[in-house]
Amino acid sequence: MQRSYDPLLTHTTRHLLLAIACLTFAFLYLPIIVLALFSLSDSSLLAFPIESFGLTWYRELFADDDLWRSVSNSLIVAGSVVPLTLLLGVPLAFGMDRLRFPGKAWLEYGVLLPLVVPGIVTGLALLLLLKQFEVQLSLVTVAIGHSVWCLPIVVTQVYARLRRFDRSIEEASLDLGASPVVTFCRVTLPNLKSALIGSALLVFVLSFDEVPVTFFLTGSENTLPMHIWSMLREGVTPVINAIATLTIALSILILALGLRFLSRD
C-alpha cells in the first residue's frame, strides 16, 4: 500500500526548518554584527541606538604600541607553527599511508587526540612536561604547544589526500627513469599542493587565535589573544570591539582561503 503525504504538512515542515536555520544563524552571527557596529560608534557607551559612526576606536587601536607588539608575537608564533607542523605532519601522513606496521590503527586514532582533548588539558599537560625539563616559558614554548595542538590538521588533510592519490602516476614516473626524489618533487608534491596550502592556512589562523594552550605556555611576551584577555579585565571597551572585528575579519578571510584550497581535491 502506497503511503500518502500531506502537502500542507510538507510545506509547514519546510518553513519550520527554514525558521530554525535562520534562528541558528542569527544566534551565531548576530553578536559578531553587533560587535562590528559598536566598533564603529564614536561613543564610548555600548548602547543602542548608535548616535554617530566613525573610526575613532580604530585610530586609537593603531596607536597602541603594546597591541602591535602582541600582534607581532602572534604572527611570529603562527609563522613558526606552520612550517613546524608541515615538517612533522607530512612525513607522518606518508608513513601512515605507505607503511604497514603493528599498531597503525592506534596511531591513526592517537593523532587525533590533541583535537579531541580540551585545549586547557593539552596546555596544562605541556606545561607540566616543560617544567620537568626546566624549560623557561616564552614564545618558543607557545609555538611548541600550538604545533602539538595543530599537528592533527596537517596529518589528517595530507593523509586523506594520499588515500585518494593514484599511485600509478608515481610508478609511471619511476618507469620513465625519474629518481624517487624527482618523482616526489615533480609528481607527488604538486598533487598534494592544495592539501598542504589549505592545512597551512587553517593552522595559521587557529594558532593566531588560540587562547587555552597559550594561557599556560606564554611567558612575559603576550600574543594578541592574551593581550585582549588582559584588556578585558578592565571591562569591555570599544577598542576591544575594534580589535575583535579586525581579528574576526582576518580569520574569516584565511579560513575561506584554506577551505577553498582543501575543496579542490
Q: Report the candidate in 242, 225, 200, 208 with the shortest Cα–Cα distance to residue 75.
A: 208
- C-alpha cell belonging to residue 76: 611570529
Is pLDDT at 20 greater than 50 in this prediction?
Answer: yes
The model's pLDDT over 55-84, given as tens digits with 9 standing for 90+, comes to 788 888 787 788 889 889 999 999 999 999
pLDDT above 70 covers a percentage of the chain that reads 91
* pLDDT for 80: 94
Q: Inform me whether the pLDDT recorded for 265 exceeds 60.
A: no
Check residue 221 and report its DSSP letter. Answer: S
pLDDT higher than threshold 70 for residue 8 = no
Q: Which of 77-91, 103-117, 236-250 has the highest mean pLDDT?
A: 77-91
Q: C-alpha 159: how far from its chain's center?
A: 18
The mean pLDDT value for 187-207 works out to 87
In the numeric block, which cell numbers belong to residue 204? 595559521
Burial of 198 by CB count in 10 Å (0-12 exposed, 13-18 middle, 19+ buried)?
A: buried
Does residue 187 have a pLDDT over 90?
A: no
pLDDT grade, residue 252 (50/70/90)? Answer: confident
CA distance 106 to 176: 37
pLDDT of amino acid 81: 95
| Sign of the alpha-carbon torsion through 173, 93, 85, 136 | negative
Question: Which carries the bigger pLDDT value, residue 85 or residue 98?
Answer: 85
Residue 233, pLDDT above cutoff 50 = yes
pLDDT digits (tens, 9 = 90+) for 107-150: 888 888 888 888 888 899 999 998 888 889 999 999 999 999 99
Which residues does 240 contact at the CB level (< 8 Å), separation at least 6?
A: 228, 231, 232
Query: Of 196, 97, 93, 213, which Cα lies nearest the Cα of 148?
Result: 213
* Cα 225–chain centre separation: 14
Which cell goes with 100?
604497514
Instruction: Report pLDDT for 173.
Output: 85
